Amino acid sequence: MDSLMEAEEKLRGFRETIGSQKLYACFECGHCSACCPVKRIRQEYSPRKIIHMVLLDMLDELISSNIVWYCTNCYLCQELCPQGIRIADLILELKNLSFKRGLSPDGIRRQFELLKTQGRIYLLDEFDQKKRKKAGLPQLGGSIDDLRVLLEG
């Protein structure tokens, strides 16, 4: 698969790309973990830990666990990092690699399938359509050809 190789290549060079964005500048202050809304309910999740593991070349361990998928991409850590490290971007890259290696959680995979076939990540049913009608909103559905072009392109 082309895309997998591409992603791995990207991550192999990850230390360098992120490096130029000062990943090595992390001084482990823990601001990212302290402000993270996910960490408040998921103790095992910590952006600081993720940076540290990338610095220690522990990518395999990182992506084979589901830990990176806890990130909600709120970007709070990235906004607040005193060293200007692109933490959320880093985690997004890790998610991509995890998915392409087939290591992402089942739910994610199912969402991907839905996106591919229906163009959305939730299943649409009668109930939703009825509620939309009641609220005066247009009905959803129809062709997803445009989307498919986007996804494959």
Partner 1 sequence: MADEIRIGVFICDCGSNIRGVIDVPELVEFSKTLPYVVVSDEGKWTCSVDYLSRMKDLIKEHSLNRVVVAACTPRTHEPLFKRTVKEAGLNPYLLEFVSIREQASWVHMKQKEEATKKAKDLIKMAVSKAALLEEGEEIRLPVGKESVVIGGGISGIYSALSLANQGFQVTLIEREKELGGILKRLKSVKVDSKELDPKEVLQAKLNEIESNSNIKVLTGYEIKEVDGYIGNFRVKVENGSGSEEIKASTIVVATGMTERKPQRGQFLYGEDRKVLTQLELEQALKENSDGFLNDVKRVVIINCINSRNEEYGCCNMGCQISLKNAAMLKEMIPDSEIFVLYRDLTLPGSEGKIIYRLREKGIKFIRFPDDRYPIVRNDNGTLKIEVFDRIISEALNIDADLLVLTCGFKGADGIDELKGMLKVSSNSEGFLQEAHVKLGPVDFPSDGIYLCGCSRSPKGIKESVDEAMAAAMRASIPMNQGYIEAEGIIAKIDLERCNSCGLCWKRCPFSAIKVDEEKRPHVIEALCKGCGLCAADCPKRCITIVHFREDQIIAQIEAALEEEPQKKIIGFVCHWCALGGVDMAGVSRLQYPPNARLIRVMCSARVSISMIEKAFELGAAGVLVAGCEFPTCHYISGNYAAEKRVNRAKKILKKKGYDPERLWLLWCSAADGPKFADTMQRMVKELGLN
Angle of the 106-118 helix axis to the 87-100 helix axis, nearest 10: 80
Task: Pick one of 11, 45, 48, 93: the residue that binds partner 1 (CB under 8 A).
Answer: 48
Task: Pick one of 34, 35, 38, 55: the residue that binds partner 1 (CB under 8 A).
Answer: 55
Angle of the 106-118 helix axis to the 145-152 helix axis, nearest 10: 130
Residue 143: partners with Cβ closer than 8 Å, 6 or more residues away: none
Smallest gap, in angstroms, from Cβ of residue 52 to partner 1?
4
68 binds partner 1 (CB under 8 A): no
Block residue for tokens 């009825």 = 130
Per-residue interface string for the shown chain with partner 1, residues 2-31, x marking contact by CB under 8 A: -------------x---x----xx--x---
With contact defined as beta carbons under 8 Å apart, do 121 and 114 qualify? yes
81 binds partner 1 (CB under 8 A): no
Nearer CB in complex with partner 1: 49/100:
49
Residue span binding partner 1 (CB under 8 A) among the ranges 54-62, 98-106, 117-125, 128-136: 54-62
CA angle 46, 51, 57 (to 5 degrees): 125
Smallest gap, in angstroms, from Cβ of residue 49 to partner 1?
5
Nearer CB in complex with partner 1: 6/57:
57
**Contact residues: partner 1, CB under 8 A:** 15, 19, 24-25, 28, 46, 48-49, 52-53, 55-57
